[in-house]
Amino acid sequence: MVTLTIDGKQVKVEEGTTILKAAEKLGIKIPTFCFHEKLQPVGACRMCLVEVEKMGKLQVACATCVSEGMVVRTDTPQVRTARRGVLEFLLLNHPLDCPVCDKGGECELQNQVFKYGSDKGRYAEQKRRFIADPKSKYDDLALGPQIIRNMNRCILCRKCVRFITEIAGETDLGTFGRGSRTEINALPDIPVDNPYSGNVVEICPVGALTSKSFRYRIRVWETEPSASICPLCGDGCNITVWSKDQKIYRITSRRNDLIDEGFLCDRGRFGFEFVNHPDRLKQPLVKKDKEFLSADWDEAIKLVASRFEAIKRRSGADSLAGVGSPKLTNEENYLFQKFFRVVVETNNIDHRVDSKHPLPDPNFKAKNHIFGMTNSISQIEKAKLSFVLGCDLQKEHPIITLRVIKSTRSGNALIVANPQRTTLSKFAQDELIYQRGTELVLLNSIAKVIIQEKLFDADKTTLSADQMDRLQENVQAFESGEVSQVTGIDPEKIKKIAQTLAKAESVMILSGKEIIGHAENTKIIDLLQDLLGLTGHQNKDNCGVNLLWEHCNSQGALDCGLLPERLPGRIHLSDGVFRKGVEKIWNAKVKEEPGLDFDQMLKSALQGKIKAMYIAGADPVSTSPDGNLVKEALKKLEFLVVQDTFLTETAKLADVILPGVSFAEKEGTFTNVEGRIQKLKKAFEPLANSKEDWQIICLLAQAWGYDFDYTSPAQIFKELVKVSPIYAKASWEDLDKMENK
């Protein structure tokens, strides 16, 4: 540790800490432009100059490390003069177009000139101008589909270029020219459209980089910020939604170092337009003579309740089925499955309409890992070897991808194995492109090489003698020539991968959609576990098998019991003690027999056994691998209710459509891929006559004579915590405290 004095106050920090960070520890803010927490310091803007005793010149605080006994002054006349000088230089060419600049109101240059700048300018000459289009008086230049540059405003901090190269690992933005003609630009004929391009808009301290979707539409201070969670993948990035009059104008990062480190992908940042779309459903619709007619809530709810009740009376509770969604909140999904188990009295509930997810044995505690991630997102960068198998990581999990890129940047290895080339491949030291569906053959042959060539340390393996015998026996069948023919992978390559896996200090496996949707998904995951066990990488720091669920609340839907055989907490219905406990809290009986999963529901509907369905937040006709079959089955139903925000292909088949709301209009929680429960807050009230999904479920239950008298998602969450052992330690109030950690 090093002790130093800053502005008369002593502080102790670790060796290697910069003056800027040490000052921050004392609550002293040193102004910066080019510094960014997650980028290498470059000391380019000179705004953070400070006085250091015994050093002749002023020093840059962002790039000067502390030393024992150092005495620093951050606010002396000399420092203030230097800051004023830096600002005067920056303003020589900076246009005074703040009244029309998107950054106005949150511009670092504006703020620092206000605080440290001079009230007089001495430069009377013509300002330099970068002309984007000689015919236009505006100098806006589109660098990519979203990114617009106005070079006149640029202060050359280079944070944008450094982000693109250091964090995103891309090369589509660079610095060109020299001296006062230096400019930030895209490469000739290559647009800036990497999956993280929008971050440069947020990172740019001035209005030099703006986004097409926000530019010139509204002043920043007219919009209201609201804390939320991105709903567009399972990573769970923390976002701020900026809205006015029930319209989202932009989304920015609400930095959470455990997940996103302050970055968003472009899908999350710019993909909000669906919320503002004019085709949003705003009123309940009831089908009469094949036409949808507007109805009021009372009429629609009474109709649904009476039809459901009549079908139940006539054909039994198990002739009804419910499909929830991994895009609804935990509270909504919890309530949805409770509605079916308590009100309808059936376990015919599911949410897995896109593919069939693996489920563990009823003895799930021993195999808990296959429900999600073993490791946390922030641990990924610590593994010495990341092995991405069956997952187009950048498409499926863009922010997790940044962790993997970060890991490779610090010298860790990456192997990518997929049925096709993916964008992550360029960061990998080895890439396997195998025949789709041959993962088991590939993994068995890797295990065989490790065993045959004795690449594992018998003292470190965590496999029991039985497991070892079974594995040895299983792998015998995989003869290298045949394996190569089946998988398309050269035996030498398999040998190399086996050696890399066996000798790595730590191995983290990341698998996604390809494995989740695989017919033998459970076997693959078990084999991956065995591979880690064999090589001594099981239950070790920064090692594990991680199954990355796709949607924003896939994990939560499982946790909340949106499954035909499991109650909230993912506990099997056959666990009598647990079931009785739930019945006590619900004050209702729960059937012990598992219900039908989505595939079985379809078959049953085609046979005329399932007569009514309630689908909330899902569009299986569009997203299921066999949409035509779904359509055919749904058409056979006597009565279909769809709750959604748009007239989806599934909704078109409904008898009644109940308008739910988007993530921006609701409060609740999502559980991300790593099992982190996070709260989203309402940015604005539900559009027109739509309602929050939990309220609709309550109305339906009440119309059926049940006291679902919940008044808020907080109340539902508190009940979920009581019911589900997985969420037992969570508290609604603590979720607020966890923000911006």
Using CB under 6 A, list all residues that contact ligand SF4: 154-160, 184, 203-206, 208-209, 230, 232-233, 235-237, 264-265, 267-268, 398-399
Contact criterion met (CB below 8 Å) for 549 and 234: yes
Report the residue number, 55 or 190, with the smaller CB distance to ligand SF4: 190
Report the residue number, 50 or 399, with the smaller CB distance to ligand SF4: 399
Q: In whole angstroms, what is the distance from residue 506 CA to residue 538 CA?
A: 9
**If you search the block for the tokens 């001035």, which residue do you land on?**
206
Degrees to nearest 5, angle at CA 720 with 717 and 726: 115
Name the minimum Å distance from CB 555 to ligand SF4: 13
Q: In whole angstroms, what is the distance from residue 70 CA to residue 12 CA?
A: 11
**If you search the block for the tokens 């009804």, which residue do you land on?**
320
Name the minimum Å distance from CB 468 to ligand SF4: 39
Report the residue number, 66 or 203, with the smaller CB distance to ligand SF4: 203
Report the residue number, 267 or 382, with the smaller CB distance to ligand SF4: 267
Report the residue number, 204 or 615, with the smaller CB distance to ligand SF4: 204
Who's near 157: CB < 8 A, 6+ residues apart?
A: 33, 34, 44, 45, 205
Name the minimum Å distance from CB 332 to ligand SF4: 19
Report the residue number, 45 or 698, with the smaller CB distance to ligand SF4: 45
Backbone phi and psi for residue 559, each to the nearest 5 degrees, phi listed first: -60, -30
Name the minimum Å distance from CB 411 to ligand SF4: 25
Query: What letter would DSSP give residue 80?
Result: H
**If you search the block for the tokens 């989740």, which residue do you land on?**
516
Report the residue number, 156 or 680, with the smaller CB distance to ligand SF4: 156
Name the minimum Å distance from CB 664 to ligand SF4: 14
Report the residue number, 205 or 536, with the smaller CB distance to ligand SF4: 205
Which 3-state string (H, E, C) describes 99-116?
A: HHCCCCCCCHHHHHHHHH
735: exposed, middle or buried (Cβ count in 10 Å: 0-12, 13-18, 19+): middle
Name the minimum Å distance from CB 234 to ligand SF4: 7
Q: In whole angstroms, what is the distance from residue 514 CA to residue 240 CA?
A: 32
Name the minimum Å distance from CB 419 to ligand SF4: 23
Name the minimum Å distance from CB 173 to ligand SF4: 8
Report the residue number, 230 or 317, with the smaller CB distance to ligand SF4: 230
Name the minimum Å distance from CB 579 to ligand SF4: 35
Structure tokens at 134: 């000689």
Who's near 688: CB < 8 A, 6+ residues apart?
A: 282, 283
Of 237, 217, 161, 216, residue with least CA distance to 194 = 161
Report the residue number, 72 or 237, with the smaller CB distance to ligand SF4: 237
In terms of DSSP bridges, do strands 430-433 and 566-567 run parallel, antiparallel, or are they unpaired? unpaired
Report the residue number, 32 or 529, with the smaller CB distance to ligand SF4: 32
Tell me what percent of the chain is helix, strand and coil, each rounded to the nearest 5: 40, 15, 45
Of 586, 552, 556, residue with least CA distance to 663 = 552
Backbone phi and psi for residue 447, each to the nearest 5 degrees, phi listed first: -60, -40
Q: In whole angstroms, what is the distance from residue 705 CA to residue 701 CA?
A: 6
**If you search the block for the tokens 């280079």, which residue do you land on?**
158
Angle between helices 576-586 and 713-723 (to 10 degrees): 150
Name the minimum Å distance from CB 676 to ligand SF4: 12
Distances (CA, A) of 423 to 59, 195, 431: 41, 10, 11
Report helix, strand or coil for 456: coil
Report the residue number, 174 or 517, with the smaller CB distance to ligand SF4: 174
Distances (CA, A) of 339 to 213, 304, 595, 664, 697: 40, 13, 14, 24, 7
Report the residue number, 150 or 347, with the smaller CB distance to ligand SF4: 150
The residue number whose beta carbon is nearest to ligand SF4 equals: 268
Residue environment code for 365-374, b if the CB has 16+ CB neighbours within 10 A, otherwise e? eebebbbbbb
Contact criterion met (CB below 8 Å) for 491 and 481: yes
Single-letter amino acid code for the residue at 540: K
Name the minimum Å distance from CB 685 to ligand SF4: 24
Name the minimum Å distance from CB 109 to ligand SF4: 9
Report the residue number, 268 or 620, with the smaller CB distance to ligand SF4: 268
Name the minimum Å distance from CB 638 to ligand SF4: 38
**If you search the block for the tokens 């050696």, which residue do you land on?**
499
Tell me the longest C-alpha to C-alpha distance in the chain.
92
CA gyration radius for the chain? Answer: 29
Name the minimum Å distance from CB 394 to ligand SF4: 10
